[in-house]
């Protein structure tokens, strides 16, 4: 079983195995687990990491913000996730943007701005709406029907 304890010196949360008697914090403080309050308990090490992050957020007054951000998915799946993986190999940013448009057209036939924005955002490329406008101006993408796009 794992637990989350807080260092009395630096006030940072730390994950520990509750079978241990002591642990040492990053700041060098020795924490004796027998008399220390355990803030959270879990059986799973992956859940332990989430519990540590939540406790650190709570200690710094940002628990609500942490919960809001932690609830958003970090990885998209399905067709969009596959396109992210394939387009990431394309090279420079401009080539990745073009690859996204081409892969969306291959996979979906035509795509929406929402599809394009979702993929570019998950790849960390800024200004996805501006990138789509640039592709349209360069005649690399056209709009066969309102709100739907295709790569050439």
Bridge partners for 111 per DSSP: 149
- How far is residue 123's CA from residue 5's CA, in Å, rounded to a whole number? 35
Average confidence (pLDDT) over 104-127: 90
Q: Are 51 and 67 in contact (CB under 8 A)?
A: no
Which residues touch 114 (CB under 8 Å, ≥6 apart)? none
Residue 127 has pLDDT above 70, yes or no: yes
Residue 37 has pLDDT above 80, yes or no: yes
The dihedral sign for the CA sequence 79, 80, 85, 90? positive
> Which pLDDT band, with edges at 50, 70 and 90, does 45 fall under?
confident
pLDDT in tens, 67-85: 777 765 555 668 888 888 8
Residue 17 has pLDDT above 90, yes or no: yes
The C-alpha angle 49, 50, 55, rounded to 5 degrees, equals 100
pLDDT at 79: 84
- Taken in order of first residue, the domains within the chain and their CATH numbers are 2-70 (3.90.820), 78-151 (1.10.10)
Average confidence (pLDDT) over 58-75: 75
Calculate the alpha carbon distances from 102 to 26, 54, 88 in Å.
48, 40, 13
Provide, rounded to the nearest whole percent, the portion of the chain with pLDDT above 70.
95
Looking at per-residue pLDDT, the higher value among 65 and 30 belongs to 30
pLDDT at 68: 75
Residue 22 has pLDDT above 70, yes or no: yes
Claim: this prediction has a pTM higher than 0.75: no
């Amino acid at each position: 079983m794992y637990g989350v304890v807080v260092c009395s010196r630096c006030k940072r949360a730390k994950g520990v195995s509750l079978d241990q008697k002591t642990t040492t914090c990053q700041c060098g403080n020795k924490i004796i687990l027998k008399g220390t309050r355990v803030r959270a308990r879990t059986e799973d090490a992956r859940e332990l990491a989430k519990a540590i992050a939540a406790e650190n957020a709570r200690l710094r007054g940002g628990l609500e913000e942490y919960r809001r951000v932690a609830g958003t998915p970090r990885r998209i799946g399905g067709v969009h996730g596959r396109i992210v993986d394939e387009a990431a190999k394309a090279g420079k940013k401009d080539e990745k943007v073009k690859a996204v448009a081409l892969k969306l057209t291959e996979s979906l036939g035509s795509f929406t701005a929402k599809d394009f924005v979702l993929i570019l955002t998950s790849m960390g490329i800024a200004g996805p709406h501006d990138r789509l406008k640039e592709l349209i101006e360069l005649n690399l993408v056209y709009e066969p029907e309102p709100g739907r796009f295709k790569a050439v």
